Amino acid sequence: MSAGPRGLSQSENYPRLIAVPQSKCRFCAAPLRETFVDLGMSPLCESYLTADQLGSPEPFYPLQVKVCGSCWLVQLDQFVSPAEIFSEYAYFSSYSTSWVKHAEDYAEAMIPRLGLDQRSFVVELASNDGYLLQWFVKRGIPSLGIEPAANVASAAEQKGVPTLVRFFDEKLGASLAEGRQADLIVGNNVLAQVPDLNSFVAGIRNLLKPSGTATLEFPHLQRLVEGNQFDTIYHEHFSYFSLLSVETIFAAHGLTVFDVEELWTHGGSIRIFARHDGDGSRPPTDRLLALRQRERDLGYDRMETYRAFDQRVRATKRRLLDLLIRAKDEGKRVVGYGAPGKGNTLLNFCGIRSDLLEFTVDKNPYKQGRFLPGTHIAIHSPEKIDEARPDYILVLPWNFKDEILTQLAHARSWGAKFVVPIPEATVLS
Ligand SMILES: [Zn+2]
């Protein structure tokens, strides 16, 4: 039996599903009536197929994102159990050198800022393979990772990062706090994937020392909207946050967001800093007040702002299809570069199959020889591009566009042109 990315077992075909579309907000339980964007029916974006699975039925689930008119949380119905997604996670954070550097810079900044030393305690939620906590451990600062995927947790242990193989929630936060409360709690790219937000944030409150700090990073809704990054929406990401919505959620659990940083990661993220209510020594910073005001000015507390997004996404689809159809009518060869999860959302929503995109390539050996879910486009190794000498190359991981254009610079020698799908389908000059 071979386990696919995120533990989607290939021999059992598909993960167990908990298809309970919720009509209520995941945070405040208000009825969800408004659609933010409807991406139609889509397969799970990480369930890459082997050749012998191509003839079997494949489950598709609604990818319809709603917005709560009470708390402005943008959210997706939950169709897949987190246990299925995370019990054996194929993504090791340490594979990405830029992400490890990001973590090192974070540790270097936080240690002096919070005065962390051998008497402190740092906890990371969804600590993956220890890519971040290793920098605290190296400085002799007691640390604990909490990570539900046993395989990545064991990689962390090998780095000397103590790791508990569990899902984090309110109860676990309370029981850990009986032993020791945390000076710093870190959560990077985990909040979007938490099905029970209230239990998770209550767990942070329970575990955090009265004088402690929690920092969480997640993609920023403003960047998703402005960059038209609808392809970053997956079934595995249940929530999409503005500063306004996350402040409301933290406040409901006795936590105050007092500072925020804007980051380049994942198409544009924010890192929030939270503390217990009533800690007057840390008032809201100017940059927090500024971002809160900017979101209000941009209308993230008004339904019209959210309603406008769906139409823009549909226009983007038509433009990309128009470009690909014209290329095919002219007899051009079009291939893809990359097989990221976001590519699967894009291709399924746009209905792009191998008649429009011959094949794609990816550096990850696990994906080579497999097929994209839903669209069944073949994935080859990058050398295939040199053989095929296509006229157009559609860059699916647009967030690495510059790196990919450099790697494929030689393709210009046979006249290949590069296309990015968003914010608008564009042939790069
Ligand atoms: Zn709500």
Question: To the nearest 5 percent, what fractions of the chain are helix, strand and coil?
Answer: 40, 25, 40
Residue 35 CA, ligand 1 centroid: distance in Å: 13
Residue 138 CA, ligand 1 centroid: distance in Å: 41
Residue 148 CA, ligand 1 centroid: distance in Å: 27
pLDDT tens sequence across 279-296: 889 999 999 999 999 999
Residue 29 CA, ligand 1 centroid: distance in Å: 6
Residue 195 CA, ligand 1 centroid: distance in Å: 14
State the virtual CA torsion across 185, 189, 194, 198 in degrees, nearest 10: 40
pLDDT tens sequence across 129-156: 999 999 999 999 999 999 998 889 999 9
Residue 28 CA, ligand 1 centroid: distance in Å: 4
Residue 32 CA, ligand 1 centroid: distance in Å: 8
Are the C-beta atoms of residues 145 and 127 closer than 8 Å to each other? yes
Question: What pLDDT, on a 0 to 100 scale, did the predictor assign at position 82?
Answer: 65
Question: What pLDDT, on a 0 to 100 scale, did the predictor assign at position 87?
Answer: 57
Residue 27 CA, ligand 1 centroid: distance in Å: 5
The DSSP secondary-structure symbol of 220 reads: B
Report d(CA 189, CA 169) in Å as an integer: 16
The DSSP secondary-structure symbol of 47 reads: -
Report d(CA 38, CA 362) in Å as an integer: 28
Between the CA of residue 328 and those of 322, 324, 388, 416, 421, what are the distances in Å?
10, 6, 15, 14, 16
Other beta carbons less than 10 A from residue 402's beta carbon:
8
Residue 70 CA, ligand 1 centroid: distance in Å: 5
Other beta carbons less than 10 A from residue 103's beta carbon:
23
Question: What pLDDT, on a 0 to 100 scale, did the predictor assign at position 21?
Answer: 56
Residue 91 CA, ligand 1 centroid: distance in Å: 31
Percentage, residues of the chain above pLDDT 70: 91
Token pair for 93: 């954070």
Token pair for 96: 């990405």
State the virtual CA torsion across 136, 140, 141, 143 in degrees, nearest 10: 70
Are the C-beta atoms of residues 136 and 116 closer than 8 Å to each other? yes
Question: What pLDDT, on a 0 to 100 scale, did the predictor assign at position 70?
Answer: 97
Report d(CA 242, CA 296) in Å as an integer: 10
Question: What pLDDT, on a 0 to 100 scale, did the predictor assign at position 366?
Answer: 84
pTM over 0.85: yes
What are 49's strand-pairing partners? 371
Low-confidence stretches of the chain (pLDDT < 70) are: 1-22, 82-91, 266
Amino acid at 279: D
Report d(CA 119, CA 181) in Å as an integer: 12
Token pair for 296: 């209000």
Report d(CA 423, CA 319) in Å as an integer: 11
Question: What pLDDT, on a 0 to 100 scale, did the predictor assign at position 5?
Answer: 37
Residue 296 CA, ligand 1 centroid: distance in Å: 17
Report d(CA 258, CA 247) in Å as an integer: 9
pLDDT tens sequence across 340-370: 888 999 999 999 999 999 999 998 888 999 9
User: What is the chain's length?
Assistant: 429
pLDDT tens sequence across 378-415: 999 999 999 999 999 999 999 888 889 999 999 999 99
Question: What pLDDT, on a 0 to 100 scale, did the predictor assign at position 161?
Answer: 97
Residue found under tokens 């429009």: 356
Report which of 132, 130, 126, 144 is spatially closest to residue 108, judged by C-alpha positions: 132
Phi, psi of 276 (to 5 degrees): -65, 150
Residue 294 CA, ligand 1 centroid: distance in Å: 21
Helix (H) or strand (E) holding 103: helix 97-114
